[in-house]
Structure 1
Amino acid sequence: MALLRLASAVPSGLRALLVLRASAWACLLCFTTYTERVSICRMFAGLQGPRIDQCKEALTAAFQGLSDMEINYEERSHLHDNFTQMTLSLQEEAAAGGSFEVAFPAAAEKMKRAILELKKGIQEVARRFRCQGCYSTLCDLPLDCPVQDMTLRTRDASYFRDMPRARGSLARIRPVQPTHRGTFCCVIQHDQRPLARLYFFLNVTGPPPRGETELQVVFRKVLRWAPRDVEMIEPWRPSLDELLARPEALTLGNLVLLTAVIALVSATATVLLWMFCRWYLSGD
């Protein structure tokens, strides 16, 4: 019977949710659309005017205060639901005549508490989703992955079939590529007699498909793009040749109208020519 313990070589304090650099303002861009954010400001400040620009700046400032946020990759759907609920709450508050100067900081503080309550990834789900760039990432080393400390007893010897060994105070752990699992054993000896053994059974997750991270970053940049100037559609001004080339242009009514126009032009030209001739002959 062996003692199987899942442990971490990195202090548990480093496993907190607030690590690395990924702003919650970037989380807002990942889980809300440009249309939703503009719609909220229009409900608070109206369709046009300086107030809507102030509203956008207030929304940015409120969520920039929540910096260094990182979430578990498996919890991104729950975070998306939280942002959806936040959007609906802001719309209700705007409809009730509330002020965005008060509503936005309160929503950001509530979202911070919601992110802190999300579960942390353990081993297989240790893959992280970073709001800064809206992409997922893996821990660099197996022992850097968040793990759960637990003690249990087992009669299953399959856990100990592949047991790498090392002498001295350092043990070599295989790189993250590819996905693998195995048991690592630490032994404390005195006079070449073992006093205690500590087993680490680790599941090491593999990397995402090649190029996935870059593709996610490019895709999110496209989603966050918003046109600054509204493109004006130029009206279609067809020429006479283009109108006559269209099958639906040669109707009976159009033919009558075209004949009348040609006759009017011909009569006008004839009268002008006759008047010119009289003027010329009268001079003689």
Structure 2
Amino acid sequence: MGLVALVGSFVLLLLLIFRASTWACLFCFTTHEERLSLCRMFVGSEDSKIRKCRDALTDAFEGFSDMEINYDERSHLHDEFTQMTVFLQEVAAVQGEWSFWKAFTSAAAKLKRTIEHLKKAQDCIPPCGVQEAARRFHCWGCFSTICDLPLDCPVQDMLVNRGDQALFSCIVAFQLPESEVTYSWKYAGGGVRTQDVSYFRDLPGSHGYLARIRPVQPRHSGTFSCVILHDQRPLARLYFYLNVTGPPPPEETELQVTFREVMRWTPREAEMIQPWRPSLGELLTRPQALTPGNLLLLAAAAALGSASVTVLVWLLIRWYLSGN
């Protein structure tokens, strides 16, 4: 007996779910009280007549069960259902009990034309990102869905020659909100290529959607990350792996050689600059050394030297003789 009751309850639940799915748009944008009050205005308070009225309302909106709309248009659609309810109430007040079949069909057809002219939701643009412009509202369950794409975008490889400029553009293919969009830049150094957020540190100097390094040096190799935020909520994370290649420019090489020589230099004992004092042989071997003036000077020097030697010899002889 308990099993039969359980099966009956399950079947009833399935019927209720199936029935609700046939008028889900109506269920999403009108309340039970509004629908009941509308049928009472048409047919009075008799239960059998109210059931017929509600069945007619359900049948009129059966084509709305699988409808999808742009999520941003749901408030517009809610207003349209509110206006439809007011219009039907006015019809009920004027025409009475037997006009609800035609009134419901006419109202549903008008509302369907309105929905067809609503702004369409954008298609999902791979490969990544939270794309609010592509969010859809589903009438069959009164819920919304968004693109089933990861937050992290694939790593973009950038090969830049040493000394050139590296330009990073934090741009995505899908539409971003018009306001409250900010950009946060991070960096994982050491030449690592990764998407692991634990490797990254903040780059507080970069705030916009563009970042630039100039000139690029080997120490800049690594992964740069840009996080697009809307009201502090991440919409996408972009990654750029920077690989610096090529030899340094010639002028930089010369500068580095000079720098290394300076670093290897050790102070020595101070050296005094002394004048050049050539010998007589060096002087005579120099080109144009035997000029008339130089010959005269040499003769005078020789005569002076000979006289000096003669005087010195005479003084020695005299000293010797005086001692004896």
TM superposition score normalised by structure 1: 0.43
Q: Per chain length, whose mean CA-contact separation is higher, i.e. which structure has more relative contact order (CA < 8 Å, sep 6+)? A: 1
**Which of the pair has more CA radius of gyration?**
2
